[in-house]
Structure 1
Amino acid sequence: MKTNTMMNTMIAQPRVARRCLSTGPVTAAYELKVEAGEVRRDDAQVALAAKFDALHESLTSLPPVRTDDLTKNSSTISSALLLILSRSLASAQSFFRKKFHLWSFGPPPRGIYIHGPVGVGKSFLMDLFYESVTVPDNNSCRNNDSHKHTKITKRRVHFHEFMLDVHHRIFAYKQEHPRGDAIPVIAQQLAQEAQLLCFDEFQVTDVADAMILKRLFSLLISDWNVVVVATSNRSPDALYEGGINRSLFLPFIDMLKDTFDIISMEDSQKDYRLESRADGQSYFWSNKDMQGDNNINNNIQAQLEEIFGSTASKTEAESISVLFGRTVEVARLNDQCAWFDFSELCYQPLGASDYISLCRRFPVIIMERVPQLDANHLNEARRFVTLIDACYESRTRLVLAAQVPLDELVGFYPYFTDTAIKRHTMPRRSVYDQTKKIFPGI
């Protein structure tokens, strides 16, 4: 018996060693979670983990970030000339490196763009990759440090928050340099802060963002060698579909397809969040006015009050600070929860920065009187999508009291011209995709 135990131990040790040495850090971390019963092995996820392992290995060829400063004295004529010269030299350097493969650190790593339905593991795998890019403490196999690590700076951010940050930087730059070009300076700042950028929920719904992205990403990738990883519910060709002046955005899509490895998980229809769905109802509906005196509405109100807590009527209104010196008013709240009418959050001119600030303040948000989101509520639907996105990223619980069942929340749009159909289809798909994040199973 003792001999058999020793033999099993001798066989097991090489097997563990082989796994540590033969797989990359992302696959190794994924397999540990599978063995721990935290996830079930999925072929698409295994393939994506291997792709991330390859990118992790290629990060060793990433050239160091230049240290030249484009922000000092940028309002003077001499500095403007230096700025133009620096950009020209950087562009020329980038051209010759690409043309003649003159990368002293090897070819620049390609970014990864992953698209597919919600709940298939896109963000989960990207987070495993992000965690693997770190400075090693020792050479122990147990900590996956037998894999080659790279000392590079990194940033993982929700795409809404990233664009808010970019707009804030543009605003701050323009305050000091009203006639200056902010984008090259911001690209430099971002590159010197993080050589690896990981975006969750990459999507474009705003014309201002669409116009910024092409120049900003071109500079980040071509001139500053920033590696970008992004997850999205949409393929590159579906980005900003039906948007205003989309033709001006198409070069960005072409650049995305030229410089990124595009990975589709569209065939992965299994929503793994359903297996770990949290207890507690978060969606209520009644086709009666919520003030109506009937048993259904009374029951819904009672459940909302229970979720809200016992301090509902005792807490004073609060102003939540938002970027650019703005505030969002919350009339009904307690320490853990804010209660809104749909009109307060989606009829008002609010955006991602407002919703992100609310989610940072409150673990739970209740919103009642949610109508069916049809062609009569296009702007409201866009805001609703942004709110859900913010709740999902911050893990804020969103509780809805609506006027229709969940599977009817996204209404059908009437027939318009071809262009109008495209513009009406975008928010409908966005609402459907984003709603599935918070309420799996629809």
Structure 2
Amino acid sequence: MTAQLRVTQRTLPTGQVTAAYERKVEAGEVRRDDAQVALAVKLDALHDSLTSLPPVPVHTNQLLTRSLASVYSLLRKKFLFWSFSPLPRGIYIHGPVGVGKSFLMDLFYASVNSPITKRRVHFHEFMLEVHRRIFVYKQKHPKDDAMPIIAQQLAKEAQLLCFDEFQVTDVADAMILKRLFSLLLEWNVVVVATSNRSPDALYEGGLNRSLFLPFIDMLKQRFDIISMEDSATDYRLETRADGQSYFWSNKDAHSDKKTENDIQAQLKAIFGGTSSGTEAEVIHVLFGRTVQVARVNERCAWFNFSELCYQPLGAADYISLCDRFPVLIVDRVPQLDANYIDEARRFVTLIDVCYESRTRLVLAANVPLDKLFVDFSAQIESSDGNEELFVSEKGGNSSSFATTMIRTKEGEDMEWSATGRMGASLAQLSAANDLVFSFRRAASRLVEMGGKDWGRQ
């Protein structure tokens, strides 16, 4: 019998994103995942289409700038046989935490080279910047429409926008988004976004959500929607923490006094000096606000949980802190459940900002990390189960546009906010349900952020 040698030739990936992904797999940095491979192929197609991306139309006259986008849009729709190339469709990627959405988007972003101008930004930070630009423009032109000017400014700065953690929890953002995104698309801007929520679940239960629905429709018409909902593996949880970023002790237990003293000693060592530090420092934030830091040195700021999360602070404040300090210490973190909805939402925002900026976040809490966030869901219940909650578009005593109503078993309609019977508002209900998503993301990120190589320094 004659032996024959069979040589199998493996087809190498040709797409930029897929090739970069395969190099990570071969280096042992990631495990091959079917959902990630499929997403890489989609991103390859978008990468290739960017070579024919039409330029941003530019005009310096502000009056013409405000109308140029709509004129350009009309020409694109009615005269496609002209030299207008079709704009590549954006991509909206949604799925559970830790399945590789941001990882693949970052591989795509890194593969895009000049002449395409590009920007990768956390969605929190981007919307804060949009609000700041509106504020600055309105100071000089109080009666003018700021949005066309701002959209063109953004388009000139980056023709590819990659958003991480796309989410809508603020009514002001919800009202801005459809118009802003429509204008960006007309200025030939391509958008890629990751989110924990599907388009139909964005701003779910939010105030005046009916005004936001046209944005969802536009998103589904103009973007490729890619779901990774079937990916069950949270790869962040495979990162081993070094034990030096999360400390806990049960302060109610007398036997834990020594543990608590040890934790305080370790926090002081991380801080790099005494717990009082130098003199208090005032950190300047957007829109003329400030945050005062009592315990501070050149590289680290030390807070109690109440100082950062019981106060009316938000993403802008946390971004300014992360810009200033590579290390933040937060002490006395309680277990976060339904009794801490507002505080938990601020804390999750802080975690997101620290994660995005690679700021080392050191926490001292009352419970282990796997018990820090208590998973819950909010729902509407009546005492007898015979009341139905719905939204009326006609409005009521407290709203001329729309209001939330209760319909009893007798068919009587009463305004929810006027009766006080439920003890909560629709906005509070929406915020509570949003935390179900954000808790899981925050817990996953804290594990990854506890790795020994995490941080800017």
**TM-score band, normalised by shorter chain:** 0.7 to 0.9
Equivalent residue in structure 1 for 2:301, among 314, 318, 338? 338
- The answer to whether the Cα contact below 8 Å between 2:160 and 2:190 also exists between their aligned partners in 1 is yes
Matched letter for residue 216 of structure 2:
I
> What is the distance in 1 between the residues matched to 2:271 and 2:125?
27
After superposition, the Cα gap between the structure-2 partners of 1:290 and 1:236, relative to the gap in structure 1 and judged at 3 Å, is: farther
> What is the distance in 1 between the residues matched to 2:249 and 2:330?
14
Name the residue aligned to 2:33. Answer: 42
After superposition, the Cα gap between the structure-2 partners of 1:219 and 1:296, relative to the gap in structure 1 and judged at 3 Å, is: same
- The answer to whether the Cα contact below 8 Å between 2:120 and 2:162 also exists between their aligned partners in 1 is yes
> What is the distance in 2 between the residues matched to 1:54 and 1:413?
39
After superposition, the Cα gap between the structure-2 partners of 1:306 and 1:208, relative to the gap in structure 1 and judged at 3 Å, is: same
Residue 251 of structure 1 aligns to a residue whose secondary structure is helix
Report whether the alignment pairs 1:125 with 2:116: no
Equivalent residue in structure 1 for 2:194, among 221, 228, 231? 231
Equivalent residue in structure 2 for 1:168, among 126, 132, 138? 132
After superposition, the Cα gap between the structure-2 partners of 1:193 and 1:271, relative to the gap in structure 1 and judged at 3 Å, is: same
Equivalent residue in structure 1 for 2:73, among 83, 91, 95? 91
Instruction: Give CA-to-partner distance per residue, 1:73-107, whole Å, 9 cap, x none.
Output: xxxxxx4xx4565344233224325xxx4463542
Name the residue aligned to 1:250. Answer: 213
Q: How does 1:16-415 map to 2 (within 5 A)?
A: 19=12, 23-71=14-62, 79=63, 82=64, 85-97=67-79, 101-102=80-81, 104=83, 106-135=85-114, 151-221=115-185, 223-288=186-251, 294-411=257-374, 412=376
> What is the distance in 2 between the residues matched to 1:291 and 1:399?
24
- The answer to whether the Cα contact below 8 Å between 2:164 and 2:195 also exists between their aligned partners in 1 is yes
> What is the distance in 2 between the residues matched to 1:83 and 1:31?
44
Instruction: Give CA-to-partner distance per residue, 1:305-328, whole Å, 9 cap, x none.
Output: 233223433422111222223221
Matched letter for residue 66 of structure 1:
P
> What is the distance in 2 between the residues matched to 1:336 and 1:42?
39
Shift of residue 370 of structure 1?
1.8
* TM-score between the two structures when normalised by the length of structure 2: 0.80
> What is the distance in 1 between the residues matched to 2:233 and 2:305?
31
After superposition, the Cα gap between the structure-2 partners of 1:252 and 1:292, relative to the gap in structure 1 and judged at 3 Å, is: farther
Matched letter for residue 265 of structure 2:
A
- The answer to whether the Cα contact below 8 Å between 1:346 and 1:380 also exists between their aligned partners in 2 is yes
Shift of residue 335 of structure 1?
2.6
> What is the distance in 1 between the residues matched to 2:230 and 2:113?
32
- The answer to whether the Cα contact below 8 Å between 2:93 and 2:227 also exists between their aligned partners in 1 is yes
Name the residue aligned to 1:3. Answer: none
Shift of residue 272 of structure 1?
2.1
Q: Equivalent pairs: percent with the same residue?
A: 71
> What is the distance in 1 between the residues matched to 2:199 and 2:96?
14
Matched letter for residue 324 of structure 2:
R
> What is the distance in 2 between the residues matched to 1:421 and 1:326?
29
Shift of residue 254 of structure 1?
1.2
Q: Which shifted more, 310-319 or 233-242?
A: 310-319
- The answer to whether the Cα contact below 8 Å between 1:163 and 1:209 also exists between their aligned partners in 2 is yes
> What is the distance in 2 between the residues matched to 1:311 and 1:121?
40
Residue 60 of structure 2 aligns to a residue whose secondary structure is coil
TM-align CA RMSD: 2.8
- The answer to whether the Cα contact below 8 Å between 1:111 and 1:259 also exists between their aligned partners in 2 is yes
- The answer to whether the Cα contact below 8 Å between 1:211 and 1:249 also exists between their aligned partners in 2 is yes
Unpaired segments ≥5 residues, structure 1? 1-10, 72-78, 136-150
Shift of residue 189 of structure 1?
0.8
- The answer to whether the Cα contact below 8 Å between 1:384 and 1:431 also exists between their aligned partners in 2 is no
> What is the distance in 1 between the residues matched to 2:307 and 2:254?
17
After superposition, the Cα gap between the structure-2 partners of 1:434 and 1:196, relative to the gap in structure 1 and judged at 3 Å, is: same
Matched letter for residue 156 of structure 1:
R
After superposition, the Cα gap between the structure-2 partners of 1:413 and 1:373, relative to the gap in structure 1 and judged at 3 Å, is: farther
- The answer to whether the Cα contact below 8 Å between 1:311 and 1:334 also exists between their aligned partners in 2 is no
- The answer to whether the Cα contact below 8 Å between 1:120 and 1:272 also exists between their aligned partners in 2 is yes
**Number of residue pairs matched by the alignment:** 400
> What is the distance in 2 between the residues matched to 1:342 and 1:414?
24
Shift of residue 405 of structure 1?
3.4
Q: Which has the higher helix share?
A: 1
Matched letter for residue 59 of structure 1:
L
Unpaired segments ≥5 residues, structure 2? 1-6, 382-388, 390-425, 450-457
